[in-house]
Structure 1
Amino acid sequence: MSRIGKQIIKIPAGVSIKLTDETIQVNGPKGDIGRQIPSCLSLVEKEGSLQIQRKNEAISSRQIHGLFRSLVSNMVVGTSQGFTKTLELKGVGYKANIDKKILNLSVGYSHPVRIEPPAGIELAVENNTTIKVTGIDKEKVGLIAQQIRSIKPPEPYKGKGILYKGEVVQLKVGKSSK
């Protein structure tokens, strides 16, 4: 039995779950998310909690059991609290700003890099060097944060680039002269 899959998902106040045979819809104060239920799993809703059970013991159903439980748990947390990723710009002259929901990055290229967030994702800039990516879908928030970071990943000699908050770059030793 999957250790993660057999855990019960507690549903906080203000969050409602609508189950059909093939889909799950989670509604909360931040928004709503839906997802297709795999045919090898079934969901059981009890007072204030949700449990995911396997219909059979096939390898494919055992593989997806824990994953789907984590996805549903992330849907519940996302609709009640939301998810945030914070990025920091390190480097001389590196800055970011928001213009009509479009993120403009000046990170050492000859042109500014423009990023338009997808629906459901909000970008915010604090003091020109901190970018906050927020939304209710953990998958989308992480994907957008990774796409922003991939524009200028931190380089190992000076540590300049776009980093996640709290990320430490292991600096390499430069060339030594004779």
Structure 2
Amino acid sequence: MSRIGKKPVPVPSGVTATINGQTVEVKGPKGTLSFVLNDLVLAEKTDDGIKIDPRDESKRARSMWGMSRTMVANLIHGVSSGFEKKLEITGVGYRAQVQGQNLQLALGFSHDVLYPIPSGIQIQCPKPTEILISGIDKQQVGQIAAEIREFRPPEPYKGKGVRYAGEYIARKEGKKK
């Protein structure tokens, strides 16, 4: 039994959720998101919020149950307060800045890396070594943070590169004589 799936997803005030077949659409102050549920689960709107139940007791239906509930919870959280990822840049001369619709990264290459900012995502650089990615879609925010980190992942010897805020980098000892 899914312990997460048993709990209904509460719908806060200011957010409206509609269920049309297998599609859950959520509108809030930050925007609109929708998600198509798997055919093995059933969604219904109750007084407590949105309740997700498996259609049968198969292993596949039970595994989709908790995942579907979490996806609906992420939709509601996204349209009400949004999601945010913070990246830190470590290294001499490594920096970032937003120029129009592009994020310009100086990461020790012979050229600056230009990353076009997709629609629905806001990227800010409060400091030259800090990148703040925010948006309403959790998957998209995480994907963009991963793509930016991929340009120069942190290396284990000096720790230089782009890392998530608070990420631990296992450091290695250098060569010895």
Normalised-by-shorter TM-score class: over 0.9
Distance (whole Å) between structure 1 residues aligned to residue 32 and residue 76 of structure 2? 9
Q: What amino acid sits opposite 1:161 in the alignment?
A: G
Contact 1:43 1:52 in 2 (8 A): yes
Deviation per CA, 1:65-110, whole angstroms, max 9, x where unpaired? 1111111100110110000000011000001111112100000000
Given the two structures, how large is their TM-score scaled by the length of structure 2?
Answer: 0.96
**What is the match of residue 124 of structure 1?**
124
Contact 1:101 1:123 in 2 (8 A): no
Distance (whole Å) between structure 1 residues aligned to residue 94 and residue 157 of structure 2? 17
**What is the match of residue 29 of structure 2?**
29
* Equivalent residues, number: 177
Contact 2:83 2:141 in 1 (8 A): yes
Distance (whole Å) between structure 1 residues aligned to residue 101 and residue 95 of structure 2? 16
1:48 deviation in Å? 4.7
RMSD after superposition: 1.0
Q: What amino acid sits opposite 2:68 in the alignment?
A: F
**What is the match of residue 100 of structure 1?**
100
What secondary structure does 1:10 align onto? Answer: coil
Task: Say whether residues 1:40 and 2:23 are aligned partners.
Answer: no
What pairs with 1:11-160 in structure 2 (closer than 5 Å)?
11-160=11-160
Distance (whole Å) between structure 2 residues aligned to residue 122 and residue 33 of structure 1? 17
What secondary structure does 2:5 align onto? Answer: coil
Q: Extract unaligned runs of 5+ from structure 2.
A: none
Contact 1:93 1:106 in 2 (8 A): yes
Name which of structure 1's ranges 36-45 and 150-159 shifts more when overlaid on structure 2.
36-45
What secondary structure does 1:4 align onto? Answer: helix
1:43 deviation in Å? 1.1
Name which of structure 1's ranges 142-151 and 40-49 shifts more when overlaid on structure 2.
40-49
Over the matched positions of the two proteins, sequence identity in percent amounts to: 40
1:22 deviation in Å? 2.5
Deviation per CA, 1:118-155, whole angstroms, max 9, x where unpaired? 22111111111100010001011001000100100000
1:7 deviation in Å? 1.3
Name which of structure 1's ranges 5-14 and 144-153 shifts more when overlaid on structure 2.
5-14
1:24 deviation in Å? 0.8
Distance (whole Å) between structure 1 residues aligned to residue 18 and residue 123 of structure 2? 30
Deviation per CA, 1:21-55, whole angstroms, max 9, x where unpaired? 13110001111101112222111211251110111
**What is the match of residue 4 of structure 2?**
4
Q: What amino acid sits opposite 1:129 in the alignment?
A: T
